[in-house]
Structures are given as structure tokens and as C-alpha cells.
Structure 1
Amino acid sequence: MEIVERRERLRPPAPQPVPWLVFSHGKGGKNQMFFNILEQDKNYSRSIPEMRQKFIHASQHDWLVMSDRNFEEHCFLWNPVSLETVQLPPLKVEYNLWTLKSKYDQGGTTCILTAPPNDPNCMILFWNMCTTFFLFCRLGEEQWTKQYYKLEDGDNHTLRRAISCSDGNIYALTLQGKLAVIDQVPPGRLSVRILEVEPAKSPTMTEALDKYLVESCGEIFLVMGIYTGFILEEASNIEVFRMDFSSMVWAKVQSIGDNVFFLGDEFCLSCSTVDSKVKGNCIYFTQTNDKSLYTFTLQDKSISVSLPCPNLSTPWFSLGWIMPVHRSAVTSIEHAQRIPKEKNTKVKDTQKAIIREEEVEKRVVEGRAWSEVPNDLLKLITRHLLLADYMQFSLVCKTWRLAALPTKWNNALIESSTQCSWLMSIQTEMGKCSFFDPTSSMTYFMDVPDLSGATICFSKDGWLLISQGLHSVFFFNPFTKARIELPDLNTNYFFKGISFSSSPTSPDCVVFGINNNFPEWIEIGVCRRGDKSWTVFNLRSNLHFLTSFNNPVFYNGSFYCLGQEGNLGVFDPNEGQFTILRNPQKPCTSTRQNFLVECNGDLLSVFVGHLAKWVRIFRLDHSIMVWKETKCLEDHTLFVSRVASLTKTEMTKKWGMENKVYFPRFRGKEGVSYTLGACSNDFSESEKPNLNFYGTKEPVHCAWIEPRWPRPCCEELNWLV
């Protein structure tokens, strides 16, 4: 080992309670940029010899496992605090670990450092998901050991990501998502055991999933990243599971408490935020070929995006997260054990405060119930409420609900609330929902038990199309709580896109769903009012078609689906026929965020560049079947999202919302909109234009909805009638 002393620019920044995110940048990869979430507006520029033109394969036990980008056989351990270096045997080029990795977007090669180099149990272990052999060595050995492995249960797949836990075990995931243990067996060999644990399943139908293993406070967590599209480019949701060894199941969790996870392509880290100023219950992650930093907040189920290092010179690439400070499992467990006591103290104090508050209210009200408020006074109050307050008003008790009959609404209430689309989000598994009104930038909250564990699939005419569990699909109006049950699906929910033609109370309502994992195969699901079951059929086409990441639009009597290449697929519900149109062709390069929407009798497509660097809108010219770019929406306003895209015209003049596109995003408490012709995203009247989504967050379960309060009769709520 060699201990080195040097000036500041040639060594990493001082250790922090949370990991550093590191980028290599500039000609020759000589420079590094360090970022820490504790200092959001600060970067540290370095040029560290050991990190020039290097890969970081693992950050464990205070040490980094590194290799040279130019001389792939050069591999070593490096301590970013003491600057000690431990040379490892050269990796033979024929092992091909790095070449195989370059053919895949993420997670090709896995590396495990079982212990620090001063520990006799220290071993460095490599494998690639495209191969079936291990490469490992122990300190002092002059060459790597190559050992082939075979999974016990006959699974032909290979191992992927892994973690080395504080209990001494190495846990890994197979490509099928099964949990395995890598054991060290004499004499100096490794074996793989598949544990009897069912793979964690996502209720969302998606082409792309990425799974990470994380150890936190002595427990194993599985973090499942859900992406739009076929490659891991844009995360749309994250789900977290904890390994319950008592019952051998992956248990889904809604919170990770005061802990924070940091996900990377090569390895993951976790830390406690008890003794730091970092917000807990969050997951930080990066994405391939993207210098953005994303944060998933479990509390409100949202993904925010920031630009941690805005001044990177090209070429650049991410080295991942490094954690120079050793945090033993004992320390983490001590934190975890101390948390409940602190929380209990806070709970007791809060309970005392609530009791005192109730005593005051009791003395003031003198025992009178809310239901005893005079009816005339209640009716007078309702005339001055906005719709969101009106919704909460009717939930207090039966007496208040009767006083809030829709016939008592006044014109101001209707005009201020129903002429603009609201952004609705399901924030918790228990059905806590938020409603954002862009005209006032106000957000209202409501508990909707009917939506516990539900996913919003589509929205139209004030109705939501909801999936719940694997088979249940139903209509729901969150303003009236009206519910219309649809027949259960015979298989798990599988639609990539779904829509309905008109209000579900209408006798001609048709629900249309589409799924295609392969460009030549299309699966269609149809359910009409009165149907007792879904009609599902498969189609094969010589014209390749892959649906884009948005829902179909009912237009001129047919359902139109936007393809990833800008082309259209059309389903005629009367003929029961799906047609792929040769034209129009793709009008621009974006495939990440595309939207289809009807506007004033025209069919519009909205294409958004990565993080909204640009926004372009096209109108379909039916005469020549070409997308023609439009620079102005005039008095119209578009509200776009993957679930539902809507158009409004009534409120544009009054609210100053004309000629804008609203996205399902927030910056602070303000909504995010794009003004055509201005080339900017508007966050508020007082802020300067911004050309991207940095500094914004998006709820993962959200949709634009039109606030409507219909009162359907019993027959209309029965789908089979």
C-alpha cells in the first residue's frame, strides 16, 4: 500500500454523510466534477491522477474497485480518503468483460468487494450478465481465477446485479428476477443457490424494468425502476420491496423511513439521514447517457429532476456514486433502533397537543355537533366556495352533504372550477389524492378509499378509467364518487394504451385497449356498454407499428393511436378493424414524450425533446396525410400527459392561458406550461423563461381531468344495462 499527500485539486473533496456523484469530463478524461446533495448549488472540480480515464466498478468498505479505460487489464483498489492504492492482477483481455458491457445499456458487469484489503476475507469478484463464469481473486494472488457456474434449478439465465451484505453473504438477482446467494466453498470455489422466493412483480404493464439490490440497516431491498419504452431511457415510476426472510417473500413498502438510496449502473449505496440535513425517504438515481439527477420521493410518489453539474465539458461520462466514509451496519442499526423512541416522544407530544386543542374546541362549541349547524347558514356558505372546497365541504357529514346539492351551485363556482382541467394525482396506496387547479395554482387534497392501490389509466368527461389489482377495471368520478364496474379481465392487465369513446353513462360508450410488444403483432381489447366480458383478439401486420407512450384518442368515430415513428394506427369500433396507415411519417426525432390530442376538430401531435429542450406541435392534414407544424394555438390550451391529453378554449381569454401547453409538472407550487412562439417554459409570471424541465417534479400517478359533477341514475351506473 502507498499513502500519498498532495494538494487539493489532486485529491477528492472531504467526506460527507452522503455519497458524492462523480463525472469524468474534458479531453482525455483528465478532469472530474464532484457533486453532493448537501450542497445543491456547488460543484468541486478536480484532476485526480487515479481517476483519469478510469471506470469505477464498486464503492464498498471505503474503497473503490477501478480499471483503466485504455488498458483494460489494469485493475486496482483505491481509497479516496487516504489515497492508498492496492494493485490487482491484470485482467486478461480475452475475459471480454468490458466489451460485453458496452453492448448493453446498463448493468452488464457486476463487481463485489467483500471486505477492505486489510481483512483476510477480502475478495474481488467480477462477472458479466452475458456470461456464465466468475472472475475472482484474493489479495496476494498473482492471477484471477475463472470459474464457470450453473444455476441450480435449471434456469438457463445468468446472474445480474448483486450486493455484499454485512452478514457476509453475497446476494444476486438472476435475469428472471430470482434471488440467489453466492457462497464461498472450499477449496477456494464459489457456488450459487437460488432461494425459494417468488420474483417481485410490478402491476404495471411495461416493456422495460430495471432492478437494483440495496442493503440498508441490515435489510435487503429490491428497487424496481419502471421505464417507458423498450430501453431504460426515461423512468416513469419506482417501486420498493423489502426481503422478508421469515416468510420468504418480497414485501412491497411505502416508505424507507429516514434512509436514502443512491442507484447507479454498477452499484448502489444507502445511508441514514438521522444525523444529517438530507431529506429521507428518497431515492436518487441517474440514467444512461444523461447528466441529470433524478429524485423519487416515496411520500408523494413524484420524480423531480435537476442538473447537478451544469458546466461539464465534452466528452463526459458518469463515474457513479462514491462513499468515502465507512458506515458500518452496526451504526445504521443503532440509528434505526433509536428512531422509534424519538418518534414515540414526538407522537406523545403531538397527542398532548391534540388533546389540549380538542378541550379548547369543546369549551368553545360546548358539545354541539357539526350536523347541528343551521341549514340556511350552510347553504349560504356553499355559495361562496370554490369547487375544491365544495368537495371537502360535502364530506363532513350527511347534513352538510345534503346542503351541498349540485342544484345550489352558483355561476361563479361553475365558471371558476369547471372551465379548466385539473391535474389529479394518487399520492399514496391508501387513496390520498391531490387536485391542482392551474388557474389559481392551488392544490387540494382528498382521501378517496375507492382508489386505494389503484392506477389511473385514462380520463375523459370527468370520468377516470381505473385499474386495480391484476384484473379489475372500472370507471370512477372522484367528484361525485360514482363508480361503474366493468367486466374483469381474463388475464392480467396488459394494455399499453387504453381509451373510451364517450361518457361511460352513454349507451354507445366503447372501451378500447391496445398492446404490442413486437412491431408486427398487435393485441386489441374491446368492451362495449352491455358486454359481460372483454373481446380480445390478436392481429399480425406486415407494416411495423409500435404504439407511442400515450393513450389513444377517439376522433371522428375511430380510435387513433400514435406510433413511435409518428405514424398512426386506427381502430374502427363499428367494423372491429385495426388499420395501420402508411402516412403520415415521423415529423421529428423525439420519441421520449409524444402526445396525441383533438383540438377544435383537428388531430394534433405534440413532440417534446429531452426534458423539454424544445416543444413542437403538428396538425394532421387529412388531404395529403402529412403532419404540418403549427406555431400558434390561438385561443386554445392543451393539457398533455401520458394518461390523458385534453383541450380547453372557454377559459383562455379570462385566465391568460391561451396558446399554451400545460405539462403534468410543478416547479414549487406553480404548474409548468409552454407558450408557443415564446420558446420557453413558463413557471410563473414573475420568473424568467426557462428552456427545460430542470427544477421541476412530476407525480408518477397523475392525469388531467375535467371537474364535472353529474348525477347519473342507477341504470346508468350499471354497465350491463
Structure 2
Amino acid sequence: METWVIFEEVDKNSKRTQSHSLFSPFAQNKPYFPPKTISELSGKMVVASYNGWLMIADSNDPGSVLLFNPFSQTTINLPHLDLLSEEVVCNQNSVNYVMTCVPDDDKDERCVVMVSWKSLILFCRPGYDDSWGIHHASVNSDVRSHTLGICNGIIYKLVFLANQYALLYRVTISERDDSNLVVTLKSVGQLRWTDLGRRYQSVYSAPYLVESCGELYCLNLFYGHGTYCNDIQDVRIFKFVEKDNTETLDVVQVESLENQALFIQVSNSPSFGCYVPPPTTSGLLQGNCVYILASFDEAVIFKYHLEDRSLTPFPLFPNQKLLWRRPFWLTSAGNKRNLDESEEKEMDTVLSEEDVSKKRHETEFGDLPSDLICRIARRLLLTDYSRFRATCKKYGDLTLPLQCWSSQSSKIEYLETTKSELILPWLISIRGDPKICNVIDPMHTDQIYLITIPWDDQSYAATMEVVYSKNGWLLMNGFAGNLFFYNPFTKVINGAVLPANNNFGHLRCMGSSATPISENGIIVGLQRSMGQLLVHSYIYGDPEWLVTLGCVKGSFIPASNSPVYYKNKNAFYFLDITGRLGRYKITPERRYKWKTFSKPSTPIVCNPLGGMTTYLVECDGEILSVFVSLAGSWVKVFRLNFMKKRWARVDNVKNHMIFLSPQSSFAEVAPDNRPELGNKLYFSRLHQKEGLVCYDLASHRYCSPNNDSMSRENLFQTRELLGCTWIQPTWS
């Protein structure tokens, strides 16, 4: 199956549609050939796409709709949509379109076009019916959102209600005696929103029904604010399966798509998937990935890889800054997976891991000479060294404890070599198994280490995630309102001091003034509820959380970042999506007060919903704000001047390294033996070949501590590790 993108090319100055273009981003051997202009779409709007066909509307009369196949140049007229206005027809969030099958000609009774809007379902047979049939769905009136999907010719409708439940309907189309169609809905499943996951820092989720290889999936995108791809916090995929041999369907989470790829329409068209034969011949198209069309101006495809939970932006036209609007996926073939004989033969010859392990020769590593064991140990990276000591008692007796190994003292035998390992902050996240932390050493990004969380409570382990880090400790969430601190280096869990918070699923921007080993620590988090800003705070040792009213009327909109606890002011400082500053102050008498500052005003004049990311960090006793544009085309840093109440531009942070991630940001001083690591911003992003991505404030270019030759002007084709945060290794 070949997959294309059709979009409106926009004039850079007037922002008006110039033309409609067709482009193949996965074309072999010619990935960047110019897009083809579709002159037949002049004066038209594309409102939906399905399996090679477009549903288009007249720009002057949106109710005048028809089907168009850009490959065969075939046009099929549809009845006039009298009930829908231009705003409704073109609204990509409230209206859904689907077709039961591909029409064979301009009059095909088997093909039914369906439009779903609120409680209405409109339907017709292209070239056969003179008017749209109308069905008033008798579903709960308190509907928050809905989506249509089709699998094996059967239409499904997923309806999300305000009571935290979702209903799945099977839509049946039948013909009456008078040859007219009738639509009926039958409930085939009920699930809670929480069954589809909930992620920290996300306030909005968008579900999509997807058919791939004859199976029905539900993919849920979690956004920080609005449906903008650069602010995706997580992606969850579920598959619908029959329950106990009945017509009822249940959902199970999918950890891997294997050789399938999903193509998500951030619009009102059905999303779809396909089989990708291994090995892939294109660097962009791969199995076990999700491809999302960006809905903002720049022509960008976002690729989400399930294996490492990374999100990578790819420019469609890297040599020209083409602006687009309303992009749609378009396919030129079906999506069924058909294995040929060679593939089946290849699959039959694959040995299971158990078979391979039985054939592998087992070596008794404990029989190695002691001096050889010591020579091996002194050349290992930190996490490898930790595992090496735990292999057997002999290895543990012959090697030094981790606290001694990590010391920079030249008296220690294992660090006498000139290639002694730097102890820098690491990237840590939870992926797949919720009881295993994935750790990446920034100096060796080609290796991922695993650290087990020794927690037996299943209510914690079911949906674990990292929400904040401070001085080597992680603040963890178990999604049952349960919060606890965990040190992945000492494997110490401190969960008794934190009472449950039932509103935790709605909190953002969490921070802490101290680690759990301190006596007077404070934990805070923000929640937006009914237009109000609520501040949740907890003082170590108190029986419960305190909720304080921050502000109303949306004057402060929390971003996907962490606050700064400024000890000199005994207050937490927050930065919202526009760059506005907020403060939560706690007096010695335990009086709590929130303030949204009018001064300093935001230092950036930019549409916050256009892809800007904000961070707040303390560096050398000062508060810095960092602003990064979509795909990093520009980066700006400012210092807060408390006396003058304004932000001052910063182009040099001297020997400091600024580590930035949505969950936690902080500053460190560069090691004396690596001064070139200073004056840089370090992101939770990796480049496939060049390692960790950082921004050099001196050259205003992206570079890498792993590759001196790397020099980039943006973050395209770099992988953002979702749910990942920086942590300082500590054993205390």
C-alpha cells in the first residue's frame, strides 16, 4: 500500500490557499520530489479522506459536496448537505466522515457515505440516493466527544460521556422494503476513560478508532494543551477483542505493533494502519510506529516509535519552508496483510529465544581469574558496574562498592585510568513494564539500562510514571492517587509520608522544595478546573493535601514544565504557556497565597498554541526562563530581575549546563576536565546517529557532547523521549 499526503498549500504572506498538492513522503529512492498540484480541487475544500477517495466541498457553498479520486480523476456527486453550515462541514473536531467501502463506479449501492455530527447521523449511497437519510442517535445527551471508525466493512462509533465513561456502538445499515436505508446503533462495549489511560501533564486526550490488518484499535493521544503535536505527552494504543465469545468488545493495551504502522488523521477522517514488510527500505516508514500529520503551518510529520516512546518531527520539504493547511492521509490500496510464500518460510525458520538460549554455550564466568575480573570491572560504565557486582558473590567481594567507585578521588584504584567516567545527570523513564525504569547515560546514549522498582503493591505498579525528580529522588505516581518518592540508585522507596490525592490525575507542574529525607519539605501541583486555577500543596508530615484558589478567568494556563522553588523567597515560581509568571508563597505562619504577575510581562510575543515550549530553571541562584519554538527553529533564554521586575535576555550561562525536560529542569556546573560541556542547554532528545542533543548558546546551533562534528539549526529528525526526565545520580 502506498500512502500519500494531500494538503492545501498556503501563501506565506496572505495565508490564503494557493493550491491543493499531493505528495508521497515514503516514496522509495526519491523522498523529496516536488508535490503534484491537483488543479481539479481549485475553489474546493477537502473535508475528509478514505482509502483513496476525497470528500470535497465547494468553498462558496460548503453544503455542495462530492467524492473525488485524485488517482483516477473520478468524480461522484453527493446530495446537498442542507443541515450543515460551512463551520460545521469544515470543523475537524466535531464532524466525522466514513465510507463503508470504495465505490466501483459512479453508482454503487454497496457504498454508503456517513456523516456524524452531535446526535445526528447522515447517510447516503453515492450516485444512487437523491437526499441524505437522517438518524437521530438515542445516546446519552451529555456527550463530550465522539469518533467514527470502520473495520472489516463495519462502522463503529465511540462516544465519550461527561461521566467518565465511553460507549462503543456498532452501526448497522440495512435496506427497507421501499429500498431506503435505515441505520441502527447497538452498544457493544462500555469502558471508563481511565481504561484508555491518563498521563501526568496532560489535560486533553484525543481518541481515534483505527483499522489495521483486519483488527480494530483505539489510539489515544495525550496533549498538554490543545491538539498540537509538539505538546503530545504520551500515546496509548488499545485493541478491541471479543469478550467471552459474545458480541461485546473489550479493550486490551498494546505494547507493540510489531510490523504494523498506524496513520492518524488529526481531523474528521478515519485513521488506518497497514503492514510494513521488514526490513524497511525507507528511513521514515517503519513498523511499530505511529505517523501523525501536524495541523499547524509547517509541513511536518510526527513519527511516534512504540519501542522507546519517542516522538520525532520530520519536515516534508527540508529545502523549502512550505506552509500547509488541512493535511490528510490518502491511500491508493487496501490495508490487508498478505504474506507471500517467502515471508511464511522466513517466519517458520525463526527460532524462539528459548531455543536459541538452549543452543548457546554457557560459560561459568565465576571461574575467571580474579585479576581479570578486576580489569574488566574498572572499564565498565556505572550501571554495568552495578550489575557486574550483583552477578555473584565473588564479583561483589572483588569490586568496590558503588559509593567508592563513583568518587572522583585519585586514590581509588579503579579511576586511575585517564578515561575515568563522568558522573552526569541521566535520563530516566518508565516504558513497557511499569516496575522497570529505563536509564540513559548522556555520554553513552547507544545503551539503555534497566533498574527494577522493588514495589509489590499492584495498585501502584499498574500504571507507574515519573512526575518529578530532585537530587536523585523521583516523585512517582501510581494513578490511584498514590504518590511516593523513589531513589533508583539506592532502591529506597519512601511512600508512607504522602497521603493519597484523588485529584492527582488532573495535576500539572509538580515540584518539591526538598527530598523525602528532609524534615520540612513541601510538594505542590497546579490544577485547572472550571476556568479556575487550583494549587495543591502538601507539607511533609501533614495528614492531607491543602487546596488553595489561585486565580480565575484563565489568567494563568499551566504549561508542561516544572516549577522552581526559590529558597530566598520561600516560594514556588511557575511559568505558563505564554511566558506569564506565577508565584505560590508560603509564610512561616502557614498562610498560602498565589499571585499572577503583570510585571514582569512575558518576554516573548508568540502564539503559545503555535508550538512554543517553555521551561523554568534555577541557575546559580537566579531564575531563568527558556523558550523553544516549534522544532527548535529558535531558542531564547531570559533571567528574572527581581528589582526591576523584568526579564533580561541571556546569551551566556558561563560554565553551567542547563538540563531541560517537562518533568524536571535544573542546572549543573560542567566538570573541570570537560569545560566545553558548559554554556549549553541539554534536552531530553536523541539523534539517531549523533547521540544526545544540546543547544550551544555561543554558536546558536544544536550540537552533541557525543559528536563534535554535529551542528544543526533545528530539532527536526531528533527523538523526544516522552515521559522522560533528568535525574542526578546520588547514593544518599
Offset of residue 296 of structure 1: 0.8
Amino acid at match of 2:586: D
Contact 1:58 1:111 in 2 (8 A): yes
Task: Return the alpha-carbon distance in structure 1 between the equivalents of residues 581 and 241 of structure 2.
Answer: 47
Aligned residues: 672
Partner in structure 2 of residue 680 of structure 1: 701
Per-residue CA deviations over 1:586-621 (Å, capped at 9, x if unaligned) read: 111354311111111111111111221111111111
Partner in structure 2 of residue 568 of structure 1: 582
Partner in structure 1 of residue 458 of structure 2: none
* 1:696 and 2:700 matched: no
Partner in structure 2 of residue 422 of structure 1: 426
Contact 2:51 2:330 in 1 (8 A): no
Task: Return the alpha-carbon distance in structure 2 between the equivalents of residues 694 and 249 of structure 1.
Answer: 38
Per-residue CA deviations over 1:357-389 (Å, capped at 9, x if unaligned) read: 22xx44xx4xxx63x667676556544433233
Contact 1:24 1:33 in 2 (8 A): no
Task: Return the alpha-carbon distance in structure 1 between the equivalents of residues 712 and 663 of structure 2.
Answer: 25
* 1:705 and 2:698 matched: no
* 1:459 and 2:460 matched: no
Partner in structure 2 of residue 616 of structure 1: 636
Partner in structure 1 of residue 593 of structure 2: 578
- Aligned identity (percent) is 23
* 1:29 and 2:18 matched: yes
Q: 1:584 is paired with a residue of what secondary structure?
A: coil
Amino acid at match of 1:45: P
Task: Return the alpha-carbon distance in structure 2 between the equivalents of residues 461 and 296 of structure 1.
Answer: 30
Offset of residue 676 of structure 1: 1.2
Q: 2:357 is paired with a residue of what secondary structure?
A: helix
Contact 1:183 1:190 in 2 (8 A): yes
Amino acid at match of 2:731: W
Amino acid at match of 1:260: A
Task: Return the alpha-carbon distance in structure 2 between the equivalents of residues 107 and 553 of structure 1.
Answer: 36
CA RMSD of aligned residues (A): 3.1
Contact 1:151 1:193 in 2 (8 A): no
Partner in structure 1 of residue 79 of structure 2: 89
Task: Return the alpha-carbon distance in structure 1 between the equivalents of residues 294 and 316 of structure 2.
Answer: 13
- Pick one of 52, 76, 87 that aligns with 1:99: 87
Between 272-281 and 618-627, the greater mean CA deviation after superposition: 272-281
Task: Return the alpha-carbon distance in structure 2 between the equivalents of residues 385 and 82 of structure 1.
Answer: 61
Q: How does 1:586-601 map to 2 (within 5 A)?
A: 586-590=602-606, 591=608, 592-601=612-621
Q: 2:351 is paired with a residue of what secondary structure?
A: helix
* 1:553 and 2:560 matched: no
Task: Return the alpha-carbon distance in structure 2 between the equivalents of residues 440 and 655 of structure 1.
Answer: 18
Amino acid at match of 2:388: F
* 1:139 and 2:126 matched: yes
Between 55-64 and 301-310, the greater mean CA deviation after superposition: 55-64
Contact 2:537 2:547 in 1 (8 A): yes
**CA spacing shift, 1:401–1:271, aligned 2, 3 Å:** same
Task: Return the alpha-carbon distance in structure 2 between the equivalents of residues 541 and 315 of structure 1.
Answer: 37
Amino acid at match of 1:218: G
Between 379-388 and 696-705, the greater mean CA deviation after superposition: 379-388
Amino acid at match of 2:259: D
Task: Return the alpha-carbon distance in structure 2 between the equivalents of residues 43 and 450 of structure 1.
Answer: 53
* 1:20 and 2:4 matched: yes
Amino acid at match of 1:691: E
Task: Return the alpha-carbon distance in structure 1 between the equivalents of residues 63 and 188 of structure 2.
Answer: 34
Contact 1:29 1:53 in 2 (8 A): no
Offset of residue 339 of structure 1: 8.1
Contact 1:568 1:584 in 2 (8 A): no
Ranges in structure 1 where 5+ consecutive residues have no aligned partner:
1-16, 711-721
**CA spacing shift, 1:167–1:143, aligned 2, 3 Å:** closer
> TM-score, normalised to structure 2's length?
0.84
- Pick one of 477, 489, 494 that aligns with 1:484: 494
Between 430-439 and 700-709, the greater mean CA deviation after superposition: 430-439
> TM-score, normalised to structure 1's length?
0.85
Offset of residue 442 of structure 1: 5.3
Task: Return the alpha-carbon distance in structure 2 between the equivalents of residues 407 and 48 of structure 1.
Answer: 66
Between 608-617 and 382-391, the greater mean CA deviation after superposition: 382-391
* 1:249 and 2:260 matched: no
Contact 1:58 1:113 in 2 (8 A): no
Partner in structure 1 of residue 14 of structure 2: none
Task: Return the alpha-carbon distance in structure 2 between the equivalents of residues 697 and 432 of structure 1.
Answer: 21
Contact 2:691 2:707 in 1 (8 A): no
Between 643-652 and 381-390, the greater mean CA deviation after superposition: 381-390
Contact 2:97 2:115 in 1 (8 A): yes
**CA spacing shift, 1:685–1:298, aligned 2, 3 Å:** closer
**CA spacing shift, 1:675–1:326, aligned 2, 3 Å:** same
* 1:117 and 2:120 matched: no
Per-residue CA deviations over 1:229-248 (Å, capped at 9, x if unaligned) read: 24545212100111122163
* 1:386 and 2:376 matched: no
Q: How does 1:124-523 map to 2 (within 5 A)?
A: 124-128=113-117, 131-141=118-128, 143-152=130-139, 154-157=140-143, 160-174=146-160, 177-185=166-174, 186=176, 188-201=181-194, 202-205=197-200, 206-232=202-228, 234-246=231-243, 248-264=249-265, 265-267=267-269, 268-274=271-277, 277=280, 278-290=285-297, 291-310=299-318, 316-327=324-335, 331-332=336-337, 334-335=338-339, 343=347, 345-348=349-352, 351-358=354-361, 361-362=362-363, 365=364, 370=366, 378=373, 381-401=376-396, 403-406=399-402, 408-409=404-405, 411=408, 419-439=423-443, 441=445, 443-450=447-454, 453-486=463-496, 487-491=498-502, 493-494=504-505, 495-518=507-530, 520-523=532-535
Offset of residue 425 of structure 1: 3.0
Amino acid at match of 1:585: S
Contact 2:572 2:585 in 1 (8 A): yes
Q: 1:504 is paired with a residue of what secondary structure?
A: coil
Offset of residue 342 of structure 1: 5.2
Contact 1:550 1:594 in 2 (8 A): yes
Amino acid at match of 2:258: G
Per-residue CA deviations over 1:423-445 (Å, capped at 9, x if unaligned) read: 22333225454433334555341
Offset of residue 584 of structure 1: 2.1
Amino acid at match of 2:358: I
Offset of residue 142 of structure 1: 5.4
Ranges in structure 2 where 5+ consecutive residues have no aligned partner:
12-16, 456-460
Offset of residue 632 of structure 1: 1.0
Task: Return the alpha-carbon distance in structure 2 between the equivalents of residues 426 and 336 of structure 1.
Answer: 38
Amino acid at match of 1:394: R
Amino acid at match of 1:477: N
Q: 2:504 is paired with a residue of what secondary structure?
A: coil
Offset of residue 542 of structure 1: 5.5
Task: Return the alpha-carbon distance in structure 2 between the equivalents of residues 535 and 695 of structure 1.
Answer: 42
Contact 1:418 1:707 in 2 (8 A): no
Contact 1:132 1:158 in 2 (8 A): no
Contact 1:63 1:78 in 2 (8 A): yes
Offset of residue 687 of structure 1: 4.0
Amino acid at match of 2:595: I
**CA spacing shift, 1:145–1:217, aligned 2, 3 Å:** same
Q: 1:470 is paired with a residue of what secondary structure?
A: coil
Amino acid at match of 1:139: P
Per-residue CA deviations over 1:500-543 (Å, capped at 9, x if unaligned) read: 22232122333223322455331313140x34x43232425368
Amino acid at match of 1:203: R
Task: Return the alpha-carbon distance in structure 2 between the equivalents of residues 127 and 223 of structure 1.
Answer: 19
